[in-house]
Amino acid sequence: MTILVTGAAGFIGSAVSTALLARGQTVLGLDNLNDYYDPALKQARLARLGTHRGFSFRQADVADRDTMLSFAEANPDVTHVLHFAAQAGVRRSLIDPYSYVTANVMGHLTVLEAARRLPNLQHLLYASSSSVYGSNSALPFREDERVDAPNSFYAVTKRSAELTSQSYAHLYGIPQTGLRFFTVYGPWGRPDMAYYSFARAIASGTPLTLYSGRRLSRDFTYIDDVVDAVLGVMDAPIDRGQARLLNIGNDRPEPVSKLIQLLEQGLGRAAVVNQGARPDADMEATWASLEAIGALTGWAPKTTLDDGVGAFLAWFRGFHPAG
């Protein structure tokens, strides 16, 4: 198989690419290497991928339709597209909404237009988000619930991508699976996410902000479990024209306060915690129902938060020696 991975220098994209290469598959990586967070981390992920003979990389923006269409024309042997490129960050979407439309709406559309020109395409998977559940209060979140009350503009763009995919599956027969990821964490992760930024704050002795809320919790999902889920879904049979949505979570929501405690224990330092009001764009609690993905693939997460945070900190100390 020849697999196109967009966002190959990103957290999930690089981890999935590594697993695909370990299976002996050919991976074509695309990423625009933007500076939403330190590009040096993206370059470090790419350096690890570059040691594999089956990996090739091109710096490109998925929202550039000429580039994407020419890429599809030049690579007709692509059998699978794993589309992870996106503009992440719930709160930044309130500051710079235009970049989210470009990356998450136009970028998704352009990938679909490229995909429908791939004569050997078997399956397109793309990253959605638990953020689409918005103000839904019934837990755990299930894929068949209505998701028409988003809390953030980021969620709007991810839901737009889901609807666009359903349309393209119907119109052009592209078999697709949207993956609603729930708070993915672990080594080589994103510095803007809470677990990583909390670790840096604790290690440096600077204050961190813990938002108020009786139920403030997240369904933290360890990266190795996410990779196993993605590969299982990619391998699962799918009919032409089918468009399905699947949660990928841990089915074990944990208080954010427990995350801080584990980081304190692992780093051997107490956190300096400031209390703050939860932003309107943030959800109070997330929890994934895993019935659908379990029935399809048999997948279930294996990593506890205690073990996952321990593995993250072992990597963190090496990547940030001063910490």
Residue 314 lies in a domain: no
Residue 208 lies in a domain: no
- Tell me: the pLDDT tens digits for 10-29? 999 999 999 999 999 999 99
Share of the chain above pLDDT 70, in %: 99
CATH of the domain at 21: 3.40.50.720
Token pair of 148, please? 């028409």
Residue 270 lies in a domain: no
Residue 44 lies in a domain: yes
214 band by pLDDT with thresholds 50, 70 and 90: low
Residue of 100, 126, 133, 154 with catalytic role: 154
- Asked if 313 contacts 319 with a C-beta cutoff of 8 angstroms, the reply is no
Token pair of 108, please? 């998704």
Q: How many Å apart are CA 73 and CA 65, to the nearest integer?
A: 12
pLDDT at 212: 76
What does each C-alpha distance from 110 to 2, 71, 190, 237, 308 come to in angstroms? 20, 11, 25, 25, 35
Q: How many Å apart are CA 89 and CA 244, to the nearest integer?
A: 24
Alpha-carbon dihedral 124, 127, 129, 133, rounded to 10 degrees: -10
Stretch among 15-29, 46-60, 267-281 having the lowest mean pLDDT: 267-281
What are the two backbone dihedrals, phi and then psi, of residue 4, each rounded to the nearest 5 degrees? -90, 125
Domain residues for the domain of 34 are: 2-183+222-250+285-301
Residue 202 has pLDDT above 70, yes or no: yes
pLDDT at 137: 85
Residue 320 lies in a domain: no
- Asked if 233 contacts 293 with a C-beta cutoff of 8 angstroms, the reply is yes
Calculate the average pLDDT of the chain: 95
Residue 276 lies in a domain: no
pLDDT at 294: 98
Residue 118 has pLDDT above 80, yes or no: yes
The predicted model scores a pTM of: 0.96
Residue 81 lies in a domain: yes
Stretch among 26-30, 108-112, 284-288, 302-306 having the lowest mean pLDDT: 284-288
94 band by pLDDT with thresholds 50, 70 and 90: confident
Mean pLDDT of 89-96: 89
- Tell me: the pLDDT tens digits for 147-161? 999 999 999 999 999
Helix (H) or strand (E) holding 39: helix 39-49
Share of the chain above pLDDT 90, in %: 91
Token pair of 40, please? 């040096």
Residue 139 has pLDDT above 90, yes or no: yes
Residue 168 has pLDDT above 90, yes or no: yes
pLDDT at 323: 47
Q: Which residue in 167, 111, 94, 132 sits closest to 247, CA to CA? A: 132
Residue 98 lies in a domain: yes
Active site includes 154?
A: yes
pLDDT at 283: 86
**How many domains would you assign to the chain?**
1
